[in-house]
Amino acid sequence: MTETQAATAQTVAGTAIPPLLSVRGLRRTFAGLAAVDAVSFDVAPGEVVSIIGPNGSGKTTTLNLVTGAIPADAGEILLDGRRIDRLDPARIAEAGIARTFQNGRVFGALSVADNVAVGLHTTLRAGRPARRLSTWFLLRWIPLLAELAVALVPTRAARREQARIEAAVAAELDRFGQRLAPRRDDFAYTLSYANRRRTEIARALAPRPRLLVLDEPTAGMNPSETAEVLDQLLQLKAEGQAILLVEHKIDLVMTVSDRVVVIDGGRVISEGRPDAVRRDPLVAEAYLGRRRGKA
Amino acid sequence: MLDTLIAGLLHGNAYALVAVGISLIFGVTNVVNFAHMSVFGLGAMCAWFFIADLRWPFWATLAVVVAVTGLTGLLINLLVVRPLARYLPIAALLATYAVAQILDSVSQWVFGPRVRPFPEVLPTDDLHIGLMRFGTSDVVMLALTIAVMAALGLYLKFGKSGRAIRATSQDPEAALQMGIPVGRIQHLSFVIASALGGVAGVFVALYTGTVSPTSGATAGLTAFVAATLGGLGSIPGAVIGGFVLGVAEAFGVSLFGGSVDDIIMFAILILVLLVRPGGLLGRVPVLAPEPMTGTFLGRGRPIRLGRWGLVAVLAVGGVVIPVLGSRTFLTIGTQVLIYAIIGAGFTVTAGQSGVIALGQAGPIALGAYASALLALLAHWPFWVSLPVGGLVAAVGASVLGSALWRVKGHYISIATLGMGIVTVAILRVAEPLTRGVYGLYGIPTPHIGGLALDTPLAFYLIDFLVLVGTLAVVVRLRSSHLGRVMSAVGSDEVAAYASGIRVRDYKALAFAVSAFFAGVGGALLAHQYTYIDPDLFGLTMSLLVLTIVVLGGVNVPFGAVIGSIVLIGALEVFRVTPQLRVILYGLALILVVRFRPGGAWVRRA
Amino acid sequence: MTTLLRLADVNVYYGAFHVLRDVRLEVGAGEIVSLLGGNASGKSTTMKTILGLTRLRSGTITFDGVPVEHRSTPARVRAGIASVPEARRVFPQLTVDENLLAGAYTRKDRAGVAEDLERMREHFPRLAERRRQEAGTLSGGEQQMLAFARALMSRPRLICMDEPTMGLAPRLVDQVLDEIARLNRELGVAVLLVEQQAELALSIASRGYVLATGEIAVQGTADELLRDPRIQEAYLGRSTA
Ligand SMILES: Nc1ncnc2c1ncn2[C@@H]1O[C@H](COP(=O)(O)OP(=O)(O)OP(=O)(O)O)[C@@H](O)[C@H]1O
Ligand SMILES: Nc1ncnc2c1ncn2[C@@H]1O[C@H](COP(=O)(O)OP(=O)(O)OP(=O)(O)O)[C@@H](O)[C@H]1O
Ligand SMILES: [Mg+2]
Ligand SMILES: [Mg+2]
């Protein structure tokens, strides 16, 4: 444990800051096929790291492992030096990792605003009394019933908290300008594909996570819409938001990333600054293809 | 020992044959078809009629049974399942239950209700292994099961239409885009499954030696559990499930007696689902697939009453009806109100957390018995035993359900159905306390001071106040953050979990809240009937609660009031006979779902 | 060139919401036509309408000179329309091979189907490697390849493709676009292509339409559209980026 910590502390681009997220020797097989194999990388605080690679190379699986959606076969994941690879997704979310999904998973039966509000669940204090007990056998009923009680008869603190949530939701929706704000009370299932993605990003961003994990956030958007997302990502980066990004749109990746990790067949084949990675012949061959490889 | 085993296998064989049909239909339409058990009974009765009455030869009779039951299946799909499933699969499930009642009544009316001997067309007692005797009929039935399983299994796996059948069940809209005639494929599966059910009926009648128009009901429930146990949609799974249950039942009954039958069956189901949430041969994906991103069904928006609408409703319900209503009208009103209380509470589970529980009669019974016993034995006043009844129901249902929350979709529905049945079975077995099948009578009515509140008017007012309280709580819950969280759980569990929501805990909480109101409703029933027995709280009651909620809109607490007025009130006022009532349930469901798929109290989007 | 598909004054509603307004659109036999438009402009709805998955309020759809607006979806598929649906919609619990065969449901010639299956495996080696994997467990891009290949299995005369390159790595985007162009060139398959990367789409299309809030706002040849400043700004991201 201490050894790995010492090892990871050095790896972040020559600085002394310990990494925010550190992934060591991660592995996951499906029916004998190693989808992710000995993958290691770090994300420093405030850093934007992108994972790119051909289809089926293990990017989404890596994100699923980092966020606890599926368990790893081997390897370690540390957030702020703390092991999180044995935790369930809720604990990991509470530890400060928020994510979106490749195909989009909005809560169809909730309005756009409510979708975002649900993202703030981990930040609730007054609304969820005694929440520290919620991982204990049987005792978890105490916070559950307390939450129910506060929901029915809100305390003053809970009401103030609720007002804070509404404000946070409005701010989050405004981030997307006129795209989401006019539809804030519409059910999410009536949104078009790209607007569902935006709703999901807003939901993930709302709790101000320590690490934001995005799986192809611009899939299904045209170039100008992609440029819009790029601006938003750059702004987040300027605000110091650490991001772990999976994306196929290479121009966006090159512009926004501090570092790029390239994986193929579940293994890291290249890693470094965007321009260096782009020049790597291995990457051009495995990933970019002729039209862009030359560019 | 060995003879118990063989008896179990023979029984299991019958279950297997029925379960195969259920699993096939589920595999294609994603609808649990309750009418299948009646088709089974129909097959048996038909065979009896042609053999015993018309003296037809056995094999010709079998052909007739295949034709009749196959046609029945086709009609069920054409008239009921398909029109409903397109909008709301759960409505289709409920409607098939209505169809089952209809078929049973028709069959009783045509053939007469009595149990009669089934002619021994094949020898049933000519072979033996050791001391255990069995007959050619059993061998033929076993051979039939194996042949059907192999043929259907291979056809589904390798045949072109088999593949189309599976594709259709996984994504009907995408299947259409492959040029697969989804409708025709579904009709075909209904015909095959129903014909099989009919034939199974014949062989089971041969095996038991008797038939009656309702003989499907007993074997039917076990066959459902068998299909679920094996993994819904899996043909070999259904067969294995059938045999497992047959054998377990035989041993269980020989050890503990017949009354624990249901308990054993559902205990096995729940144990299996805990280890394998998709049944013995079913698989659940590592990560539940992302919900379809195509056209979602127009779910629509609940109608808003507005301030004056609310005042008007309160005035009519709380003043006009009590002042003007006759005694009978008020008595009916109390029924309506109680079911509205139970239904409104149930929207938290069925609507928000997305768990279509089929066993709400369980917590209702718990509340009723708890309150009644506290009043009878401990002489607690009604005002205390009423909320305590709700609490007992909530705690009891939570304990029984605690293991279930990792199970999903239809499996949780069937598991909760089991929970309801087990709850009642326990009440029946706990004789010293509950007086078993004799029931509790002389349950005291409420008092205030020395004043007995035993008139319909008093009951009505009490129920009305409780309903208003229930609605207030449920609506408040819905608009709170907790309410949003529960709805998120119902929408997409994976995303909810990733947002830091402990999905199972919130499902359990939603279920407990619903159980509390079910218990309160049960307690109200108990003190107003002054007599309760376990049979009151059967599957019909559970499905009635669900139908009320579906009719009004699963996500709309006030919809439960509408549903209750329609299903309990209207039918009661017009003094509809029980047989006709089921038909009208089905009809109401079909009409509402057809024109307002989100529920009567929901405007189409 | 003869017209293969024609939409005339098509209107579609979701409830009270008017999604498509008097849409007129044509695809000639053997032509690649690109359908562009911002998010929520109604592209997917147009595709679903052509396939008969949404109800038409008014207007006509003719395929090969025959009105089809009252025909069922399977009937339209039998007539020769195939689809790569939005968000892939592969059959999650069927294997890769079974998905491909399901795509060939309308075909009777077993030998031809086997041949095509082989060809798809050649074009997409990943699908050959994973022929027995359940499609629902494939990665996003792998599913997209499968959805594309599945549509080709029916030997259609017209393919409606709703974002066939979504989630594909750059290299595969090229490959899929090349494949579309080849199909069109060699087999004369007509294609109606919804594609977010408008520049790529117009590079293989001969004509294009631009939808804006449910109406056809602009139409023209691919070159005209590529040069149109309005389109450059709105869809190619030139001035914004
Ligand atoms: N449950 C599973 N069972 C079997 N194989 C799986 C499973 N999940 C993923 N795989 C395989 O693991 C590999 C990695 O998948 P992953 O989703 O991580 O790819 P990806 O890099 O995100 O690709 P894409 O860019 O196409 O989204 C793929 O080849 C996929 O088929
Ligand atoms: N089931 C539905 N109910 C109500 N409105 C819907 C429904 N489906 C789509 N819409 C609305 O119809 C409009 C057009 O949607 P459509 O999916 O056709 O857009 P699109 O152009 O394909 O967008 P995208 O590029 O995001 O895929 C959108 O405003 C969407 O919100
Ligand atoms: Mg991926
Ligand atoms: Mg679309």
pLDDT digits (tens, 9 = 90+) for B169-194: 888 889 999 999 988 888 988 999 99
Q: Is the pLDDT of residue B411 over 50?
A: yes
Q: Is the pLDDT of residue A38 over 90?
A: yes
Burial of A259 (0-12, 13-18, 19+ CB in 10 A): buried
pLDDT band at B168 (very low <50, low <70, confident <90, very high): confident
**Same structural domain, B459 and B565:** yes
The full set of domain ranges for chain A reads 3-96+209-288
Residue B295 neighbours by CB under 8 Å, 6+ apart: B173, C48, C53, C54
End-to-end CA distance of chain C: 38
- Distance of alpha carbon A104 from alpha carbon B495, whole angstroms: 9
pLDDT value of residue C192: 96
Q: To which H or E segment does residue B152 belong?
A: helix B136-158
Ligand nearest to the CA of C162: 4
Which residue in the block uniquely carries the two structure tokens 């994906």? B285
The residues pairing with A52 across neighbouring beta strands, listed in sequence order, are A262
Ligand nearest to the CA of C235: 2
Tokens at B15, concatenated? 């279950």
The closest CB to that of B294, out of C82, C85, C94, belongs to C85
pLDDT value of residue B569: 86
Cβ–ligand 1 contact at A249 (below 6 Å): no
Interface membership of B555 toward A (CB under 8 Å): yes
**Same structural domain, B243 and B375:** no
Q: Is the pLDDT of residue A6 over 50?
A: no
Q: Is the pLDDT of residue B7 over 90?
A: no
The predicted model gives B218-238 an average pLDDT of 88
The closest CB to that of B481, out of A89, A105, A165, belongs to A165
pLDDT value of residue B299: 59
| DSSP secondary structure code for residue A187 in this structure | B
* Cβ atoms of C157 and C4 closer than 8 Å: yes
CB atoms within 10 A of CB B323: 8
Q: To which H or E segment does residue B132 belong?
A: strand B132-134
The alpha carbon of B313 and the centre of ligand 3 are apart by a number of angstroms equal to: 53
CA distances from B255 to A114, B2, B248, B261, B264 (A): 54, 14, 10, 11, 11
Report yes or no on B292 lying in a domain.
no
The alpha carbon of B296 and the centre of ligand 2 are apart by a number of angstroms equal to: 10
Q: Is the pLDDT of residue A141 over 90?
A: yes
- What amino acid is encoded at B572 in this protein? E
| DSSP secondary structure code for residue B324 in this structure | H
Look at C168 and A55 and tell me if their CB atoms are within 8 Å. Answer: yes
- Distance of alpha carbon B156 from alpha carbon B141, whole angstroms: 22
**Same structural domain, B151 and B12:** yes
Contacts of B181 in chain C (CB under 8 A): 72, 74
Higher pLDDT, A111 or C38: A111
On average, the pLDDT of chain B sits at: 87
For ligand 2, pick from B173, B293, B295 the residue to mutate: most ligand atoms within 8 Å of CB: B295
pLDDT value of residue A289: 66
pLDDT value of residue B604: 60
Interface membership of B553 toward A (CB under 8 Å): no
The predicted model gives B404-421 an average pLDDT of 87
Report yes or no on B605 lying in a domain.
no
Residue nearest to atom 6 of ligand 2 (CA): A190
Highest-pLDDT range among A158-167, A184-193, B42-51, B215-224: A158-167
| Strands in chain A per DSSP E | 21-30, 33-43, 48-52, 74-79, 82-83, 97-99, 211-215, 242-246, 259-264, 267-272
pLDDT value of residue A3: 42
CATH homologous superfamily of domain C3-91+156-235? P-loop containing nucleotide triphosphate hydrolases (3.40.50.300)
The closest CB to that of C15, out of B163, B166, B605, belongs to B605
Residue nearest to atom 5 of ligand 1 (CA): A30
pLDDT value of residue A291: 53
To 10 degrees, the CA torsion angle through C114, C118, C119, C120? 100
Most B CBs within 10 Å, among C44, C76, C77, to test the B interface: C77
pLDDT value of residue A189: 84
Which chains, if any, share at least 3 CB pairs under 8 A with chain B? Answer: A, C
Q: Is the pLDDT of residue B154 over 80?
A: yes
pLDDT, block means (10 residues), chain C with 241 residues:
91 89 94 90 93 92 94 94 91 94 93 93 92 92 94 94 91 90 92 90 92 91 88 61 31
**Same structural domain, B252 and B315:** no
- Distance of alpha carbon B247 from alpha carbon B235, whole angstroms: 19
Q: How many CB pairs under 8 A join A and B?
A: 123
Which chains, if any, share at least 3 CB pairs under 8 A with chain C? Answer: A, B
- Residue B525 sits in which domain range? 305-599
Q: Is the pLDDT of residue B294 over 70?
A: no
Tokens at B16, concatenated? 């297997």
pLDDT band at A293 (very low <50, low <70, confident <90, very high): very low
**Same structural domain, B397 and B260:** no
Class of domain A3-96+209-288: alpha beta
Tokens at B320, concatenated? 């006009």
| Strands in B182-240 per DSSP E | 210-211
| DSSP secondary structure code for residue B274 in this structure | H
CATH of the domain at B31: 1.10.3470
pLDDT value of residue A247: 94
- Distance of alpha carbon A126 from alpha carbon A158, whole angstroms: 5
Atom of ligand 2 nearest to the CA of A220: 25
Which residue in the block uniquely carries the two structure tokens 């909008």? B87
Look at B477 and A148 and tell me if their CB atoms are within 8 Å. Answer: yes
**Same structural domain, B529 and B382:** yes
- Distance of alpha carbon B338 from alpha carbon B464, whole angstroms: 8
Q: Buried (b) or exposed (e) across B69-104, using 16+ Cβ within 10 A?
A: bbebbbebbeebbbbbbbbbbbbbbbbbbbbbbbbb
